[in-house]
Chain A
Amino acid sequence: MFASFVKAFKNLFKEPQTIDYPATPIVKDEGYRGLIEYGQEECIYCLKCEKACPSGAILFVPVENPPKNEKNKKGLKYHYNPHLCIYCTECVRACPKPDEALWQSNKKPPIGIKDDKVNEEWFELERLKSKD
Chain B
Amino acid sequence: MKKTINIPLGSQHISLLEPVRFRFECENEKIVAVDSDVGFVHRGIERACTTKFKFDGVGYVVARVCGLCAITHSLSYTAGIEKLLDAEITLKAKYLRVLLLELDRIHSHMLCLSHTCENAGFEAMFMRIMGDRELIMEIQELLTGNRVQFDFISIGGVNRDLSPEVAKIILERLKIVREKTLGYMDEFKNNWSLSLKFKGIGTLSLEEAYRFNAIGPLARASGLKIDVRNEIDYLPFSEIGFVMQTQSGGDINSRNIVRLNEIINSIEMCENVINGLPEGEIFTKIKGKPKGEVVVRFEAPRGELMYYIKGNGKPILERVRIKTPTFACIPAFSHIFVGQNYADAPAILASFDPCLSCTAK
Contacts and interface: CB of A to CB of B under 8 A. Distances in A.
A65 interface: no
B141 A86 contact: no
Interface in A72-103: 86-90, 93
A37 B155 CA distance: 24
B61 interface: yes
A53 B54 CA distance: 10
A29 B60 contact: no
B149 interface: yes
A90 B151 CA distance: 10
Majority secondary structure, A binding face: loop
B61 A54 contact: yes
B151 A86 contact: yes
Contacts of A54: 53-54, 56-57, 60-61
Given A29-B141, A32-B141, A54-B53, A87 B146 contact: yes
B151 A17 contact: no
A123 B276 CA distance: 50
Interface string B140-165: 01101110010100100001100000
Contacts of B145: 29, 31-33, 87
B55 to A, nearest CB: 10
Contacts of A88: 60, 151, 154, 159
A19 B56 CA distance: 40
Contact of A17 (B131, B141, B149): B131
**Interface size bracket, A side:** 10 to 19
Contact of A89 (B54, B56, B61, B159): B159
Given A17-B131, A54-B53, A54-B57, A87 B142 contact: no
Contacts of A86: 60, 149, 151
A33 B131 contact: no
A54 B64 CA distance: 13
Nearest to B130: A17
Nearest to B131: A17
A93 to B, nearest CB: 8
B63 to A, nearest CB: 9
Interface string A35-67: 000000000000000001111000000000000
Contacts of A52: 56
Contacts of A89: 151, 159
Interface of A: 17, 29, 31-33, 52-55, 86-90, 93
Q: Can you list the 8 inter-chain pairs with the closest CB atoms, starting with the nearest? A: A54-B57, A33-B145, A88-B151, A54-B60, A17-B131, A33-B146, A31-B145, A32-B145
Given A29-B142, A53-B57, 15 more contacts: A17-B134, A31-B145, A31-B160, A32-B145, A33-B145, A54-B54, A54-B56, A54-B57, A55-B57, A86-B151, A87-B145, A87-B151, A88-B154, A89-B151, A93-B154
